[in-house]
Amino acid sequence: MSARSQKITFAEMRSSGVHGLLIYCSDYRCSHYIAISGDRWPDDLRLSDLEPRFVCSACGKRGADVRPDFPTARMGIG
């Protein structure tokens, strides 16, 4: 069993102006994901602390990959 690396805290994520999360099922064959708000969790919590708590609503597998939902970059044409 491999150890997961620690990810950033919610405070670090929010300081970058990001409030959303992308939650990916830990089973690569399922490939289900959702986008949710991260506003409900405290600043000192790490994104990696949440990963074992999620259960996929599509396949039922426990565990997830939690990532900040960075806004899509806009390319200026000028």
Cα R_g (the chain), whole angstroms: 14
pTM above 0.85, yes or no: no
CA 58 and chain centroid, separation = 17
pLDDT digits (tens, 9 = 90+) for 14-72: 999 999 999 999 999 998 999 999 999 999 999 999 999 999 999 999 999 999 999 87
Q: Is 25 exposed, middle or buried, given 0-12, 13-18 or 19+ CB atoms closer than 10 A? A: buried
